[in-house]
Amino acid sequence: MDKRIVSARAVPRALLSVLILQLRFIVDKKVLMRGSHVIGEAAARAGCRFYAGYPITPQNELTEYMAESMDRLGDGTFIQAESELAAVNMIIGASMSGARAMTSSSSPGISLKQEGISFLAAQELPAVIVNTMRGGPGLGNIAPSQGDYFQATRGGGHGDYRTIVLAPASGQELADLTRTAFEYADSYRTPVLILGDGMMGQMMEPVVFPDPVDIHKLAPKPWILDGARGKRPSRIIRSLLLNPSTEEERNWKLMRKYEMISREITRAESYMTSDAHMVVVAYGTAARIAKGAVKRVREMGLKVGLLRPVTLWPFPEHNLKELSRYVKDFLVFEMSMGQMVEDVKISIEGRSDVHFYGRPGGIISTPDEVAKIINTIYHRRHLEED
């Protein structure tokens, strides 16, 4: 057979591998890229082939990137939805039929998506949702904030469920955790939230991307709705379980899954904690500032470290428990008014003192500002002990 004649069926696959190759173009190279674009590129490489979203600042660049990349890939779907509600519900449909699907928004839009997130959890559908947090409540502003911690980690929507929450703190981590988010979503069949903020979304940092996955080689999903085709019984994906004992059973099933997730994926970064008398706890952008502050006070001889939760749910309770054996003071630093501090207190169970410092509304503290707070608390403790 003439090798130039490619069968009609082979064309899309051949085309696809060429496209993936094009995509691979920047793989080995470090690129300077805006955070929102990093998530988009990492999602495409993770095999995301369905994106629906609605415009909102400061994350429009992600939606725009997906519009471009889904077209470029040729086998992806991009829909600019009529609303956040429609977007998340399109994701439900795409996920039901097997696609790796993502939607994204910023705080007010994420509030609107909660209906869908609750359904995703109940129907055990994988999906990735990105929240580029901005100041609030209400419309608030478009500056970086962390005011959605409660919403993100307490479920957000109605009902007894949990959402995996990943909190990247650098461009590279945006790329890596976006890949991880899709993997967790599929393997646990649950929605995964990437919780960033305006700073994470707008800032550019050097990034090296993981290789693109071949979507045809992803683990098969033996539960999707793709038509029984006479080969198997028809399937139902539902959340309504009118019989209380059936609903209870489902809740127990979810709970066992959440316990497994807690055991398997909890993650935190420890920085200079091994000899620390005091530890700052912060995530995302706040953790970068806190790290700068810790470095500064270390230079002054203070024994201070940083614990940065990478998973906000499951929360690194165990790490804090361990630290509280020898750390006397914890300072929780947030770009919100005291939300994560509750989880820190729960983890520490009164063994150490827990202090709080927060700047809401889109204010970005300087490392010096946080260093001053550390200093005050640290020296007060030492005065007491001297």
Partner 1 sequence: MVKKVFGRPKYLKDAPFHYCPGCGHSIIHRLVAEVLEELDIGDITIGVPPAGCAVLAYDYFDVDMGEAPHGRGAAVATGIKRTLPDRIVFSYQGDGDIAAIGTAETIHAANRGENITVIFVNNGCYGMTGGQMAPTTLLGQASTTTPGGRNAARDAAPIDLSEMLAIAHGSVYIERTAVTSPKTIRGTKRAIAKAFKTQMANRGFSLVEILSPCPVNWKMSPVDAVKWIDSAMTKTFPLKVIKDEVGKL
Partner 2 sequence: MKKTIFAGFGGQGVLVMGYVFATAVMNDGKETTYLPAYGAEMRGGTANCTVAVSDEEIFSPVASSPDYVVVMNNPSMIKYESVVKPGGIIFINSSLVSKELSRDDITVFKVPSSAIAKKLKNERISNMIMLGAFVEKTKITSLNSIMDALAENMKGKSANLIKLNRKGLDKGAEYVSQGA
| C-alpha dihedral (88, 90, 91, 92), degrees to nearest 10 | 90
Q: Which residue has the tokens 């995964």?
A: 192
Binding partner of 236, given partner 2, partner 1, none, CB within 5-8 angstroms per partner class: partner 1
Total site size for partner 2, rule CB under 8 A: 23
Cβ within 8 Å of residue 339, ≥6 positions away:
146, 147, 149, 150
End-to-end CA distance of the chain, in Å? 90
Which of 333, 367, 371, 378 binds partner 2 (CB under 8 A)? It is 367
The whole-angstrom separation of Cα 329 and Cα 279 is: 7
**DSSP, res 106:** -
- What is the DSSP annotation of 129-198? EEEEEBS-STT--SSB--TTHHHHHT-SSSSS---EEE---SHHHHHHHHHHHHHHHHHHTSEEEEEEEH
Strand 278-281 versus strand 329-334 pairing type = parallel
Query: Would you count residue 228 as binding partner 2 (CB under 8 A)?
Result: no
Footprint of partner 1 on 122-151 (CB under 8 A): 123
Footprint of partner 1 on 14-53 (CB under 8 A): 49-50, 52
Q: Which residue has the tokens 């909660």?
A: 114
CA neighbor of 196 nearest in space, from 119, 287, 320 = 287
Strand 268-271 versus strand 304-309 pairing type = antiparallel
Query: Would you count residue 90 as binding partner 1 (CB under 8 A)?
Result: yes
Which of 55, 74, 206, 338 binds partner 2 (CB under 8 A)? It is 206
CB nearer to partner 1: pick between 115 and 369: 115
Which of 95, 151, 202, 347 binds partner 1 (CB under 8 A)? It is 95
Query: Would you count residue 86 as binding partner 1 (CB under 8 A)?
Result: yes
Least distance (Å) between residue 113 CB and partner 2 = 21
CB nearer to partner 1: pick between 118 and 311: 118
Which of 3, 5, 9, 234 binds partner 1 (CB under 8 A)? It is 234
Binding partner of 338, given partner 1, partner 2, none, CB within 5-8 angstroms per partner class: none
The whole-angstrom separation of Cα 169 and Cα 167 is: 7
**DSSP, res 209:** P
Footprint of partner 2 on 33-62 (CB under 8 A): 57-58
Query: Would you count residue 8 as binding partner 1 (CB under 8 A)?
Result: no
| C-alpha dihedral (193, 216, 93, 126), degrees to nearest 10 | -30
Annotate each residue in 121-160 with x if it binds partner 2 (CB under 8 A) or - if it does not, as one string.
Answer: --------------------xxx-----------------
Binding partner of 199, given partner 2, partner 1, none, CB within 5-8 angstroms per partner class: partner 2
Beta bridge mates, 271 = 306
> 10 Å Cβ neighbour count for 59?
30
Candidate ranges 8-16, 159-167, 284-292, 347-355; the one touching partner 2 (CB under 8 A)? 284-292
Instruction: Please work out, in degrees rounded to the nearest 5, the angle formed at the alpha carbon of residue 309 by the alpha carbons of 373 and 122.
Output: 135
Annotate each residue in 188-227 with x if it binds partner 1 (CB under 8 A) or - if it does not, as one string.
Answer: -------------------------------------xxx
Contacting residues toward partner 2, per CB under 8 A: 30, 32, 57-58, 141-143, 198-199, 202-206, 288-289, 291-292, 295, 364, 366-368
Contacting residues toward partner 1, per CB under 8 A: 49-50, 52, 77, 79, 81-83, 85-87, 89-99, 101, 115-116, 119, 123, 225-230, 234-240
